[in-house]
Amino acid sequence: MEKIINTLIKFPIWKNDRKPLISLNDLQKRQIENFVRKIQSGEYKLIHNPCLCGNKDTSLDILISEKDRYGIPCEILLCKRCGLIRLKEKLDEQSTADFYKNYYRDIYVGREVASDEFFNEQIRRGQVFLNLLMRYVNLKDIKNVFEVGCGAGGILYPFYKEGLEVSGCDFNEKYLRYGKEMGLDLYQGEIDILKTPKRSQDLVILSHVMEHFNEPIEKMNEIIEFIADGKYLLVEVPGFFWIPKIYFNPILYFQNAHVYNYYYYYYLKTFFETLGLEVLYGDERCTFLLRKPSNWEKNNIKVVYDEKMRVWAEKIEVEIKKYYLLHVLKLNPYYLRMGLIKILDKLRLKNTIKKMIGR
């Protein structure tokens, strides 16, 4: 089967034709053009993006795509040494800060300000996180919660309604304004030691944030320092092996803002344990509940690697092609699920089934 797939599909699968794979509104189109123009003019600086496994052999990098789902030109590489998917080049620190302040939400959400729908969707995810936390932790042990990259703050809202002290940070002031109006304590920028002391938080949340970090090892070490000894970190990133469950086309997984794209087992488990954290829960979606040991000390590791990652790299190389082939043939789980939903809808059974499964 692998030989057939490799014969039929060659890398890079997606060429740089500037064509988006999703529908874009006028705001998104305009801001994408502005963003690309800043890169082309040199106003935004691109720098080399090394693999976290320390690989320097470029022959082990496979170019899988020349664009992201928005049609934004970017070379996306798969490392055959560890299986990590990453951008070949990333924005430098100054360009990154400006991008998230002025372009990110406009492009990725398509609205200049947070909507009720956006906030409510965040609330739903926050409730999922709260339920997960309560399975492993006595909520009485949690007095305060901080979210890095909180957007409008909706994920924090279920914790707020439970009577916990919540706070968060984000680059986009317009989105923060919505949460502030809902009574949440939010501030603009990165997590700040002057506003959020080290070892002060019982739970820190990073929901679809870590994949945006230019230097994830260094950044995660910094964030862990804000967690109180013996307390918790909840991280969720878009997991590679979750692609066929949520996307009809695997290109939709790739975004220029995602500097690194992770997978659960074996990579992220190894990553967090290398940082000295205890993994309480982890799944293929890449949702993790982690505990900071009381004796935790910041380490100076520069790379994350284990020989077993080579096996996963080979698997991911094949899976990308397989996901694409299933998309072309319309046989992936996404299409099958959508087909089932249409059938249930025609039979007027969709809402009944949703109630039965608690959705």
- Residue 118's Cβ-side half-sphere holds a number of Cα atoms within 13 Å equal to 19
pLDDT of residue 237: 98
pLDDT of residue 353: 56
- pLDDT block averages, 10 residues each, the chain of length 359: 80 98 98 98 98 98 99 99 99 97 96 96 98 98 98 99 98 97 97 96 99 98 98 98 92 98 92 98 97 95 96 96 91 69 74 57
pTM for this predicted structure: 0.92
Tokens 């680059």 correspond to what residue? 171
Vertex 59 angle, CA 54 and 61, to 5°: 60
Give dist(CA 351, CA 359) in Å, integer.
9
Vertex 88 angle, CA 87 and 93, to 5°: 75
pLDDT of residue 231: 99
pLDDT of residue 346: 76
> What are the structural domains of the chain?
2-110 (no CATH), 116-291 (3.40.50.150)
Give dist(CA 305, CA 267) in Å, integer.
8
Through-space distance between the first and last CA atoms of the chain, rounded to whole angstroms: 37
Give dist(CA 335, CA 325) in Å, integer.
13
Distances (CA, A) of 152 to 10, 121, 181: 41, 11, 10
Q: Which amino acid is at 112?
A: E
pLDDT of residue 331: 80
